[in-house]
Amino acid sequence: MRSNAKFLCIAFVIAGLIGFSTYGINNTTTQVLASHSAGDNMTGMAGMTNMTETEHAYNKSAHVVRDSVAELLEGKTIPAGQFIHLYDSTPYMITNGHVAVNVPCEDNSTASIQVLMGQAPNFTAAELENLPELSTPGEMCLYHVDIAPHEEVITDVAIANPGDSDLDFPPGSTAVIGINEIMPFAHQE
């Protein structure tokens, strides 16, 4: 029974991504969800109600948006030690978002790739969380990571192959990036 439920969940995710891709991979839609009245941002976004002082300071000047990119990776190759740049928000920094990748993984569910975030060329590997209910160790695993307010500027998201050999993505390999909030920043040279 659990196997059937797992199969249905994976099939649903893949069908949704394929359906989305039919209408334009990498065509993004940005919607302004809130207006800036009295200098405050009324986000209404889940998870934004218990903000720290630092997060609130970021949020006061943030623009609430919903910008998504879904990239089908099937048939693509990342050479050893190289990366694929997936998202750039310059001249705005990302203050709230989410990244999910469905990629090949090891028997112990270790990801075959790294998700890199930062301001190019200064990337940092994100700590990915495996979703075991939607993963098959040794084959394909689904990972995700939240983008939250940082002291470091995040404008770019990429995936990298840290391995010693080229990585060929099999069917079902995807990267989905959702951006919820951005804000202007002073360029750091």
Query: And the tokens for 96?
Result: 């709230």
Q: Residue 122 falls within a domain, yes or no? A: yes
pTM of the model: 0.68
Q: Residue 189 falls within a domain, yes or no? A: no
The CATH number that applies at residue 16 is 2.60.120
Give the neighbor-by-neighbor strand order of the sheet with 129-130.
63-72, 174-184, 92-104, 140-147, 129-130
Q: Residue 133 falls within a domain, yes or no? A: yes
Total count of domains within the chain: 1
Residue 160, domain extent: 2-184
* Closest among 79, 63, 62 to 113, alpha carbons compared: 79
**For the segment 138-184, what is each residue's pLDDT rounded down to a tens digit?**
999 999 999 988 778 999 999 999 999 999 999 999 999 999 999 99
Cα separation of 51 and 118, whole Å? 22
Q: Which residue has the tokens 């695993």?
A: 141
Strand pairing class (40-41; 83-88): unpaired
Q: Which residue has the tokens 């959702």?
A: 178
**3-state SS assignment for residue 149:** coil
Cα distances (Å, whole numbers) of residue 156 to 95, 99, 105 = 12, 12, 24
pLDDT along the chain (189 residues), means of 10: 60 53 40 36 39 49 85 97 96 95 97 95 95 97 92 93 97 97 75
Helix (H) or strand (E) holding 183, with range, is strand 174-184
